[in-house]
């Protein structure tokens, strides 16, 4: 069974640019969540999607957005990048129930 696939694995962007990250969940999982991981703040919840609807949102500015497609694949977008957005962005999928499987993440570096 394939795991959660995140693309790209690494990304370097310039301040002010925007970026889109992609996540393909485990087949059959309809819930997709996104987390930001940094050395200073640790793992923080960004948002969660289920059946193309955002069900839950963390405490991040509106520059962070996401969406989910009918095949459960999800994307997150960060606009007007800041240096502080440099982080590992993790996607997790889950079946009904709280067993989350994380992908390996996208390492975003903003220069």
Partner 1 sequence: QQQVKQSPQSLIVQKGGISIINCAYENTAFDYFPWYQQFPGKGPALLIAIRPDVSEKKEGRFTISFNKSAKQFSLHIMDSQPGDSATYFCAALLGAGANNLFFGTGTRLTVIP
- Show the binding pattern over residues 30-49: x = contacts partner 1 (CB under 8 A), - = does not: -x-x-x------xxxx--x-
Query: Strands 10-13 and 106-110, how do they pair?
Result: parallel
Show Cβ contacts of residue 27 under 8 Å, excluding neighbours closer than 6 positions: 1, 2
> Is 79 a binder of partner 1 (CB under 8 A)?
no
Nearer Cβ to partner 1 (19/90): 90
> Is 55 a binder of partner 1 (CB under 8 A)?
yes
| Nearest by Cα to 11 from 74, 60, 81 | 81
Residues 81-100 binding partner 1 (CB under 8 A) are 90, 92, 94, 98-100
Tokens 């009904």 locate to: 96
- Show the binding pattern over residues 1-30: x = contacts partner 1 (CB under 8 A), - = does not: ---x--------------------------
- Alpha helix segments (H runs only) across 1-111: none
Query: What is the distance between the alpha carbons of residues 14 and 104, in angstroms, rounded to a whole number?
Result: 23
State both tokens at 62: 């509106």
How big is the site for partner 1, counted in residues (CB under 8 A)?
A: 24
Residues in contact with partner 1 by CB under 8 A are 4, 31, 33, 35, 42-45, 48, 50, 55-56, 58, 90, 92, 94, 98-105
């Amino acid at each position: 069974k394939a795991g959660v696939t995140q693309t790209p694995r690494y990304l370097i962007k310039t301040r002010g640019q925007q970026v889109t990250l992609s996540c393909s969940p485990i087949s059959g999982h309809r819930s997709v969540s996104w987390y930001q991981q940094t050395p200073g703040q640790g793992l923080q919840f960004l948002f969660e999607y289920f059946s193309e609807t955002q069900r839950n949102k963390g405490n991040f500015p509106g520059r962070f957005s996401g969406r989910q497609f009918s095949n459960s694949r999800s994307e997150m977008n960060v606009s007007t990048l800041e240096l502080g957005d440099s982080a590992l962005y993790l996607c997790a999928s889950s079946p009904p129930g709280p067993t989350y499987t994380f992908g390996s993440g996208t390492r975003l570096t903003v220069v």
